[in-house]
Amino acid sequence: EVQLVQSGAEVKKPGESLKISCKGSGYSFTSYWIGWVRQMPGKGLEWMGIIYPGDSDTRYSPSFQGQVTISADKSISTAYLQWSSLKASDTAMYYCARRTDGGATRYWGQGTLVTVSS
Amino acid sequence: QPVLTQSSSASASLGSSVKLTCTLSSGHSSYIIAWHQQQPGKAPRYLMKLEGSGSYNKGSGVPDRFSGSSSGADRYLTISNLQSEDEADYYCETWDSNTRVVFGGGTKLTVL
């Protein structure tokens, strides 16, 4: 069974750094793209970027380029999303999501709530 | 890059059927899409992949009440015999490659 298990909720102050994780299991972690999706409170889904753990090829949505860093450690089947300096506007639920060979987001993580407040 | 347009809300009565629409932008009418359901307070859930031909492939465990169809640039999700648990937000998704993905704005479905 394919599973994506994300790290727990975080409460941070503006300017702090953060790295959240997404551990894949039940499939070959290096063979499928994993993306990150933001959902701000009461809003829709926004595609942030994606990584291919096999070779760490990473692409970003123009809206998120330079704002976050996506990485992966294939030795522990885990993808990451990180910020170097959080803003209040980064407060949102973040989902990791695995794609299929032919496209489409097929599997979702349970979400990580990030709250940034002074 | 394609753009997906969805109505912001829809409503239908318990036990009835509803058809949700996702429209692809000009020049992208042949694109494949996926439908996802997000129940209140939960993560999204993959429902199906839907081609321009109307052929669709559902995820495991998705009830038979959910079906897909297509006409031109429109992609539809039909839910029959509506249940209370179908009250959710429904998002369509498409992609320009495995690395350029876009979601529609979502439709909030209310079951009366």
DSSP string, chain B: ---EEE-SEEEE-TTS-EEEEEEEPTT-TT--EEEEEE-TTS--EEEEEE-TTS-EEEPTT--TTEEEEEETTEEEEEE-S--GGG-EEEEEEEESSSS-EEE---EEEEE-
- Give the chain B residue whose CA is nearest to the CA of A111: B43
pLDDT at residue number B98:
67
> Can you spell out the DSSP letters for A44-73?
-EEEEEEEETTTTEEEE-TTTTTT-EEEEE
Minimum mean pLDDT range among A58-67, A101-110, B70-79: A101-110
Who's near A106: CB < 8 A, 6+ residues apart?
A: A2, A97, A98, A99, A100, B46, B59
Mean pLDDT to the nearest integer, A1-29: 98
How much is the pLDDT for B57? 94
Strand partners, B91: B36
> By the CB < 8 Å criterion, does B98 face chain A?
yes
B12-59 per-position pLDDT tens digit: 999 999 999 999 999 999 999 999 999 999 999 999 999 999 999 999
For residue B99, pLDDT over 80 is answered with no
pLDDT digits (tens, 9 = 90+) for B55-89: 999 999 999 999 999 999 999 999 999 999 999 99
How far is B108 from chain A, CA to nearest CA, in Å? 10
Average pLDDT, chain B: 96
The pLDDT value given to residue B89 = 98
Neighboring chain B residues of A99 at a CB cutoff of 8 Å? 98
Placement of tokens 């070959």 in the chain:
A28
Q: Which of A50, A95, A104 is closest, CB to CB, to B43?
A: A95
CA distance B108 to B88: 6
Chain A residues closer than 8 Å to B95 by CB: 103-104
